Structure formats: structure tokens, C-alpha cells
A and B are shown apart, each in its own frame.
Chain A
């Protein structure tokens, strides 16, 4: 029989394999925060307030580089914008919940919790208690993230610079980006953003990141709209051409989600 309790426990269980990957990222974030000279309490509070691995990494890096607050906030916003996709994709399932539940689940909505929750929601069955499953998965991830970043912050200064642990950040991002380069528009967006970021390094306040992101997204949109237009014309002409089906709005398949990044 499906109870709140059993759904909650099932959610925790589904999240466990992902946690194996979350722990090292939490540790590395803690080390990064310390090496950016962020006080331990503020570093740990960021895990609580922001609760988003990649944004926390980038924020720590920018704080360490002395970038002005407004640009750090804007950058953090852009890095976290992808969560809007998760929010949209889960919205229909959370419609019946009261405001308190929605706010709680929104706070817990990370890459990893989304991956597990959406898979469960899309399976047939009793929908009335599935939010408890989401809660279990979200809280399992939340507590693991808090604990592992705390350990990283404590260890922080004892980790020698020669270990080059900061390199784990671009490596994590490589692991996230490369498998998702599935079509020409996405690949072009990524390559363009990367090259513009290189060209724009001399811009003050690390503004290059924001400029590069916008140019990359614009190229992606441009190529995709051109492709769609061509596909449409082709179809009208001979009636055999097919328009590429619209992908999962998140751009990821569920399995890849499960293997995604920490926090």
C-alpha cells in the first residue's frame, strides 16, 4: 500500500546513487569558498540560502576575484536560469498542492531532485502522494549537500594548492555540457560562448562571462530558427520532410539527469 511514509522513503532511496556524486562536489565547493577568502559561516550559509552547486562555485570564484556585487548577482541569476525549465516541467503535477508545499518543493528543486521527481511523476499510478517522494529525494540531497560543503569548508585551508582542486570545477562542467551537445544549434551555442569568453577576458569585472553567454544563446536561437524554417519549407514542398520533434524542454534525458552534477 502506498502511504506518505512509503513514498517519502522511496524518494530517499531513489536519490541515493546520485548522492555518491554529490559528496565530492560539496567538498570541492567548500575548499573553493575558503580559498576565495569567504568566511566559513558565509560559505556554509550559501549552501543553505542558494542551494545550487554550480552557481555557488561561480559565485565563490567571482567573490575571490573581487568582482562587484551587482555582476556577481547577475551571473548567479544566469547560471541558475535553467531551473525555470524544471519549474515549468513540474508545474502541472504540483497544481493541487497548497502554497506552503509549493514553496518548499521549489526550494528543493535542484538538477538532481528534478531528475528523480519527474521520472516518478511520469509513471502511472496514484498521484495523490507523489509530492512526498519529491520531498524525500529533495531532503536527502539537501542534507548531503549541507554536510559535504561543511566538511569541505573545515578542510579548506589544509588542502594544498598543488592539488589543483579548483580544476574540478571546469571538469564538472565538461561532464555536464559535452553529453548534451546533441544538435548543431546547441553545439554552436556552446562553442561560440566559449570562444567569446576567451576574446572577452580583458573586459572588466569578468563581464566576459555574461557577454559570452548572451552571444552563445543568440547564435543557438538563430541557427535553430533557420533550421526550423528550412524544415517547414521542405515539408510544404514535397510533403515528405519531417520537422524535428520538439525535445524534452530540459534538453536532457532522464538517465543523464541522474548522473548530473551536485547541489
Chain B
């Protein structure tokens, strides 16, 4: 990417993000969101984040890896269990990272 394209990309994302944040504050000024929009928006974070999580865990070098030697998958599942039980962001990340490091050292 050329420097110009890079800067334009960043500015576009910045303006769009600002527009999203300002949207209801300025346009509507009332509490009710149309119900359809509300239920659509509710699914956005879980869908988009899962679409990032799954490939990071299951794919290794663009190849599907479901084996026990896939350290990232095991560490990720471990982290998911911690997230489910504790709802603690920091603890989830610490367990996942330490788990990955240990697996990389011992399961090679």
C-alpha cells in the first residue's frame, strides 16, 4: 500500500467510526431505535469477532488443523473456558498466552 493510500484508508475508517458514534446522538436524540435495527446490531459484535477468532485457532498456514499438535487451538479453547467461567478479560488473555507458550515449548 502506498503511503497516500494508507493515510486515506485510515482517515476514511476514522470518519466512518466517528459518524457511527455520532449517529443517534445527533440524528435521533431519542431513546427508541427501530426494533429491527436493534436486533441486527445486537448480533454484529459476536458475529464479526467470531469470524476473526475461528480462523486464528483452526487454520495453520492457511490449512485446516484440528489435531492435538495445534497449540493455538488448544490454548484458545482453554481461554474460552476461562472466559466462560470467570468473564475476566485479563485472566483469559493471560491463561491463553501462557498456555500457548507452554504448548510451544513442550509439544514440539
Contact = CB atoms under 8 A, between A and B. Distances in A.
B12 to A, nearest CB: 5
Contacts of A212: 47, 50-51
B59 A198 contact: yes
Interface string A36-59: 001100100110011110110011
Question: Chain B interface secondary structure, helix, strand, loop or mixed?
Answer: helix
A32 interface: no
Given A82-B45, A172-B89, A174-B92, A91 B25 contact: yes
A189 B43 contact: yes
Interface residues of A, number: 95
A39 B3 contact: yes
Contact of B97 (A21, A58, A168, A256): A168
Interface string B63-97: 01000000010011001100110011110110011
A169 interface: yes
B75 A194 contact: no
A159 interface: no
A175 B24 contact: no
A218 to B, nearest CB: 9
Which range contains the number of B residues in contact with the other chain? Answer: 35 or more
A243 B17 CA distance: 35
B31, B51, B75 — which one has the most chain A CB atoms within 10 A of its CB?
B51
A15 to B, nearest CB: 15
Contacts of B107: none
Given A73-B9, A173-B52, A24 B93 contact: yes
A162 B100 CA distance: 11
Contact of B39 (A80, A163, A221): A221
Interface in B1-46: 1, 3, 5-14, 16-18, 20-26, 28-31, 33, 38-46
A174 B79 contact: yes
B30 A91 contact: yes
Given A21-B89, A66-B1, A198-B59, A84 B23 contact: yes
Interface stretch (A1-9, A144-152, A178-186, A230-238): A178-186
A4 to B, nearest CB: 20
A146 to B, nearest CB: 14
Nearest to B28: A91
A201 interface: yes
Given A106-B18, A197-B55, A217-B44, A46 B92 contact: no
Given A21-B90, A171-B76, A198-B54, A177 B17 contact: no
Interface string A87-120: 1111110110001001101110100000000000
Interface string A198-218: 100100000011001100110
A117 to B, nearest CB: 12
A198 B45 contact: no
A173 B3 CA distance: 29
A167 B29 contact: no
12 contacts: A39-B6, A46-B10, A50-B14, A66-B1, A82-B44, A102-B25, A107-B21, A170-B57, A171-B97, A173-B53, A220-B39, A251-B45
